[in-house]
Structure 1
Amino acid sequence: MLDPVRRSLGRRLRSLRIAAGMSQSAVGTAVFLSPQSIGRIEDGQYTRVSNLHINALCDLYGVTGDGREVLLGLVQQVREARRSASWWSPFADLLSADELDRLVLEQHAIAGTAFGSTLVPRLVHTADYRCALERVLYPRDSPADIARRVELAEQHWERLHTNNFQARIYLLESALRHVIGGPEVMHAQLSHLVEISERQTVSIHIIGREVNSHIGFHLASFVLLEFGELLAGEPPEPPEVFLDGVPGVLRLQREGGICRYQAATDELSRIALSENTSRTVVAGIAQEFRA
């Protein structure tokens, strides 16, 4: 499971190793850890790491003073987080590794931009819309597990709202017209979008059908997460991008790929309708499903 603290610790240790010109195998031998453990630490994945290991790595890389204290402080944060139970633990069996990473990182993010090319983004699903999707994505799941997936999504959204998470949603107009679960479900889903678009923490923008060839035609649905500073005086943590797949999600780990999605987000912002006009469009289509 990935979280911002482990991710920051791993990113810093990888940079130090590369600057030292050492391989993961050589580092592992020097500090009595396997190369696989070094790789997992650098990837921000769960691996037990002690102050003894961090001090040994600092000695190896020539890190002293404040730099060493920052790394030891991050290890302490990892240790404290491990002791506290996570609200999503009862649902962990339903999630792939990337899905769990996305959920955890969204809980720590300060903002997120979600794009829907064919469907309403999962951040803003109603329970019935989500349920209809889950039945298609997981046809072998029991009704009880489907209900648990929906409950997870609802709890997740509620916690994001409590955390003052700033959600920016971009949608192709055609995605609003793909019938999921029937007209009644669609009416409720689009009415929900209208309602939450009035919140200060949510902005919804539609890319209208009148816009000719644009970047949205070439994108899978995605969410781009933004983070604040993890340590006082430090730069904000770098963003993350997750692509929606069938089923589940895929995390982008190459910096160049993330930059391309940042640029795509800027382009979507340029061609999308304003919030007020978008709200009117969504409300109008919602009424069509009510007829």
Structure 2
Amino acid sequence: MARERSGPTVAHLVLATRLKELRERAGLSPGQAADALGAHPATVRRIEQARTSLDEGQVHTLLRAYGAGPAEIREILGKLATANLPGWWHPWRAVMDSWQLDLMSVESAASVVRTWDPALVPALLRTPDYARAVLDALWPFLSPADRDRRTEFLMERQERVRAQQTHIWALMSAAALHTRVGGEEIMAGQMRKLRSAAGRREATLQVHALHGPPHVLTECPSLTLFRVDVPEIPDHVVRQGSPAGSADVVQEPAAVAAYRTLLDYSCLTASHPHKWKEVLP
């Protein structure tokens, strides 16, 4: 029986990718693999996309169908227990967006997170007060308890990213520094946090000035690019939109490369990381 969905872990993603590679190396289609399982091809696709837990019996059957040797079968089955463990984010799953359930393992293993926000301070750099004020403004239909839980979850994400020394490369419009979120005290606290972040080795902050020319991301909504130094896990891009909480997740290499190029061009025309404080309000 599949476990309650809480999003795949990195170990889960790696094993799912490996199963897909073994199937392709064996020259079998998803339909042929499904025949070996006595299941629908959608089952194989869900396994390979890490959208369901890895059942030991199913994995063993697939490995035999793919021609894996005894040593490889023992190795993979030995990693199943770890792969199926719930991620650290499991306690917050009730207030997580669907894209977060799928992408939190990627963020939790990312070596670099690049982000663009046209109107607000990026989530991974927000103070608790600023984050809660954003939720109050954009998510008024949520209960106060759910907004509290979402704020707690974001703060835990920040702690995890900081602990793993992920490099945060944040690009924003100066409008994000002038958009009044909460009162003056909340904004002052947020500016202090940005100044502190800019002084850390694992952070890069750049800002497009209010009176500067348009750039390649001017009309683009919030973007986040995740880079994981694990060969089996490709770079992912999350493009957030409206209504709040909706997002497109992109991992097709050509599309991800296109977004990376846009970020590169936009960073070239933004403030130099060492001079970004000059545009602070």
- TM-score range (shorter-chain normalised) is 0.7 to 0.9
Give the counterpart of 2:258 among 260, 266, 283: 260
Aligned to 2:3: none
Aligned to 2:62: 57
Could you tell me how far 1:63 is from its partner in structure 2? 4.4
Residues 1:162 and 2:163 aligned together? yes
Could you tell me how far 1:193 is from its partner in structure 2? 0.6
CA distance in 2, matches of 1:127, 1:28: 47
Contact 2:10 2:83 in 1 (8 A): no
* Map 1:90-109 → 2, pairs under 5 A: 90-109=91-110
Could you tell me how far 1:40 is from its partner in structure 2? 0.8
CA distance in 1, matches of 2:190, 2:75: 44
Instruction: Map Cα deviations across residues 94-137 of structure 1 (whole Å, 9 max, x no partner).
Output: 11321222333211112111111121111111111111111233
CA distance in 2, matches of 1:211, 1:76: 56
With normalisation by structure 1, the TM-score equals 0.83
- Indicate the SS of the match to 2:218: helix
Aligned to 2:199: 198
Contact 2:121 2:172 in 1 (8 A): yes
Residues 117 and 41 of structure 1: CA distance in aligned 2, closer, same or farther (over 3 Å): same
CA distance in 2, matches of 1:196, 1:59: 51
CA distance in 1, matches of 2:74, 2:278: 52
- CA RMSD after TM alignment: 2.4
Could you tell me how far 1:73 is from its partner in structure 2? 4.0
CA distance in 1, matches of 2:74, 2:209: 50
Could you tell me how far 1:49 is from its partner in structure 2? 2.5
- Indicate the SS of the match to 1:46: coil
Residues 17 and 236 of structure 1: CA distance in aligned 2, closer, same or farther (over 3 Å): closer
Aligned to 1:132: 133
Contact 1:226 1:240 in 2 (8 A): yes
Contact 1:9 1:75 in 2 (8 A): no
Question: Between Structure 1 and Structure 2, which shows a larger proportion of helix residues?
Answer: 1
Gaps of 5+ in 2: 1-6
* Map 1:231-246 → 2, pairs under 5 A: 235=231, 237-245=233-241, 246=243
Residues 214 and 166 of structure 1: CA distance in aligned 2, closer, same or farther (over 3 Å): same
* Percent sequence identity over aligned pairs: 24
Aligned to 2:181: 180
Residues 54 and 159 of structure 1: CA distance in aligned 2, closer, same or farther (over 3 Å): same
Give the counterpart of 1:79 among 81, 85, 107: 81
Alignment coverage as a number of residue pairs: 273
CA distance in 2, matches of 1:193, 1:73: 45
Contact 1:117 1:219 in 2 (8 A): yes
Aligned to 1:276: 274
CA distance in 1, matches of 2:234, 2:115: 17
Could you tell me how far 1:15 is from its partner in structure 2? 4.0
Give the counterpart of 1:45 among 34, 48, 51: 51
- Indicate the SS of the match to 2:217: helix
- Greater displacement, 246-255 / 145-154: 246-255
Could you tell me how far 1:257 is from its partner in structure 2? 1.8
Could you tell me how far 1:54 is from its partner in structure 2? 3.6
Contact 1:172 1:206 in 2 (8 A): yes
CA distance in 1, matches of 2:9, 2:213: 39
CA distance in 1, matches of 2:238, 2:40: 29
Contact 1:110 1:226 in 2 (8 A): yes
CA distance in 1, matches of 2:11, 2:28: 24
CA distance in 2, matches of 1:82, 1:18: 23
Instruction: Map Cα deviations across residues 257-276 of structure 1 (whole Å, 9 max, x no partner).
Output: 21111111221231221122
With normalisation by structure 2, the TM-score equals 0.86
